[in-house]
Structure 1
Amino acid sequence: MTIILTLDKISMPKGTEFTPLERGKIIGLRDAGWSFAAIAKHIGRSVAGVSKFWRNKETYGMTKRSGRPRKVCDRSKRRIVLEAKKAGSSSNRVKSALGLQISSRTVRRVLQRTSHMNYVKRNRTPKLTTRHKVARRTWARTMVQLRTDWDRVVFSDEKKFNLDGPDGLQYYWHDLRCEKETYFSRQNGGGSVMVWGGFSSQGKTELAFLEGRQNSFNYQETLTNYLLPFGEAFHAGRYIFQHNNASIHASHSTKDFLKSCDVTVLDWPALSPDLNPIENVWGILAREVYRGGKQYMTPQDLKSAIQGAWENLELSRLRSLVKSMPDRASDVLEVKGKKTNH
């Protein structure tokens, strides 16, 4: 009697243990008279592996696998990730909080291998009190209910640029084959340049370079020379002006000035830079001005770079930021007045 076996050929990674199915096939094919080479070719395994299994088939799989035992079980890994997410702490603090008998380096390695966790620098942001959060929610609710025409709003703010680069540390990808890059740092950033600017869905103002300490009178002079001409040229005088609650903006003198110029001012909640799209514009400018770790020797060089970056701002980008305002208001309501991710 002839026995014909019709078995599908399978392929398994080399080096792994034979599965129960593979073991059964090896035994069946061997009993049918197949050679080790033919069996190995059929199941996609090495001849040595098949031969070794056949010689030790009674005890195969009973030997304890070699190699370093795992330091952290899956449950501990989940606890590490949850603790880091909850506290935003360093690996040392996560280790201490959980009382784990492992090194901080192991904790750090677990977090680094978690795809949705990333070790980043905290951004400095104003602390919001309950009063601030309530005011932000009230503002957002009003903006949504009134269906504010954001295309009429002129957003504005001041911004400081340092000669030595933006505040904080500079990061870059380092090629280990090359000499390390450095950047110099002078006291107080080597000096700085202060600017005022504004924009709307129709365009942007001229950029004002501010000299010396600013007061209400200086600010009103800036608005006279830069805001008012822009409002007339781009909005025929029918626009809504946005600025934050800095002291020179909110002074009685400035309020009277804007009223005398028939400028409608948008109510604005305190400590809310995340709601002002001009903060995004400053971010765009800073990335362009300091691209490649660029630093400046003189204020005039920095001014030229800022002016060039300002002139290169595309209207489509500005309009996209204006269109984000309904979402910003909705997001404030969703997070109950807390900071948003804009």
Structure 2
Amino acid sequence: MDNTLKLSAEHKLARREYAREWILYTKDVWPRVVFSDEKHGTSTGHMDTSDAGKTCASGSVRRYVARMVVAPSWCGVGLAAVYMLPFAHKHFGTEYIFQENNASIHSSKRTTEVFEEQEVKVMKWPTRSQDLNPIENMWIILSRTLYDNGKKQYCSVAELRAAVLAAWDAVDEATLAKLVDSMSKRLVKVLDKKGNKTRY
């Protein structure tokens, strides 16, 4: 995956440090990671960034997707409190890791306090590292389903929402598992490329 933003020497160093830290973990840890990302869609165009939130966990847990229908900041906590924490606690107790994607709401003081109160282990994410996040690949899969059938636009937000949920429902567990299992390979590739962008 080619990211449009260039990587500085500091970005590359942070990516290498992240890879060195997490490559030490076995493949068993990745199904316990709740990955996060944000996308936004309009009825007349492809999905872009910001107003919908999604969390994804692999393993025996059924997929979960939630569109943000509340303000981006809910009591200063946002998606983490409204969707992610109840979902993750229900399926994992406290035995999971939340991957924060550098969204400002995830690093706010109140959100940090909530994570600490709920004993949530947070995976610090290197800036400009979309290629390391398997959810980015999931967005591509969903976009292809939504638009590759020749449909260029949707008549309403409700129609788009229904189409997104249907596309998400069509994703099988094997696809999710494959994306999550790719994390170890992504980290190896980052180290091989000395922190530069990968093809993921």
If the TM-score is normalised by the length of the shorter chain, which range does it land in? 0.7 to 0.9
Q: In 2, Cα distance between the equivalents of 1:249 and 1:213?
A: 14
Residue deviations 1:73-106, cap 9 Å, x none? xxxxxxxxxxxxxxxxxxxxxxxxxxxxxxxxxx
Residue in structure 2 matched with residue 127 of structure 1 by the alignment:
6
In structure 1, runs of 5+ residues without a counterpart are 1-121, 168-188
Q: How does 1:96-245 map to 2 (within 5 A)?
A: 125-147=4-26, 149-166=29-46, 194-202=51-59, 203-204=61-62, 206-211=64-69, 214-215=72-73, 217=75, 220-245=77-102
Whether the 8 Å contact between 1:205 and 1:227 is mirrored in structure 2 is no
**2:191 is equivalent to residue 333 of structure 1:** yes
The one-letter code of the counterpart of 2:37 is D
Distance 1:193 1:162 in 2: 11
Counterpart CA distance in 2 for 1:216 and 1:332 is 35
Secondary structure of the corresponding residue to residue 268 of structure 1: coil
Contact 1:193 1:209 in 2 (8 A): no
> What residue number does 2:168 align with?
310
**1:263 aligned onto 2:120:** yes
Deviations 1:6-65 (A, max 9, x none): xxxxxxxxxxxxxxxxxxxxxxxxxxxxxxxxxxxxxxxxxxxxxxxxxxxxxxxxxxxx
Q: CA deviation at 1:213?
A: 5.5
User: Aligned pair in 2 of structure 1 residues 308, 159: CA closer, same or farther (>3 Å)?
Assistant: same
Shift of 1:291: 2.6
Give 1:229 deviation, angstroms: 2.8
Q: Is the 8 A contact 1:242 1:268 kept in 2?
A: yes
The answer as to 2:171 corresponding to 1:292 is no
Contact 1:154 / 1:198 at 8 angstroms: preserved in 2?
yes
* Distance in 1 of aligned mates of 2:11 and 2:34: 23
Deviation at 1:335, TM superposition (A): 0.4
Q: Which one-letter code corresponds to 2:88 in the other structure? A: G
1:93-141 Cα deviation digits (max 9, x unpaired): xxxxxxxxxxxxxxxxxxxxxxxxxxxxx96522110000000001101
d(CA) in 1 for partners of 2:88, 2:118: 11
Note closer, same or farther for the CA distance 1:321–1:208 as it changes in structure 2 (3 Å cut): same
The runs of at least 4 aligned residues of structure 1 exceeding 6 Å deviation read none
TM-score of the superposition, structure 2-length normalised? 0.88
- The structure whose Rg is larger is 1
Per the normalisation by structure 1, the TM-score is: 0.53
Residues 248, 232 of structure 1: CA spacing in aligned structure 2 closer, same or farther, 3 A cutoff?
closer
Higher strand share: 2
The structure whose RCO (Cα within 8 Å, separation 6+) is larger is: 2
Task: Verify the 8 A CA contact 1:158 1:194 in the aligned structure 2.
Answer: yes
The root-mean-square deviation of aligned C-alpha atoms, in Å, is 2.4
From the superposition, tell whether residues 256 and 316 of structure 1 become closer, same or farther in structure 2 (CA, over 3 Å).
same
Report if aligned partners of 1:216, 1:251 keep a CA contact under 8 Å in 2: no
The 8 Å contact of residues 208 and 222 in structure 1, kept in 2 or not, is answered as no
Q: How many Å apart are 1:228 and its aligned residue?
A: 2.1
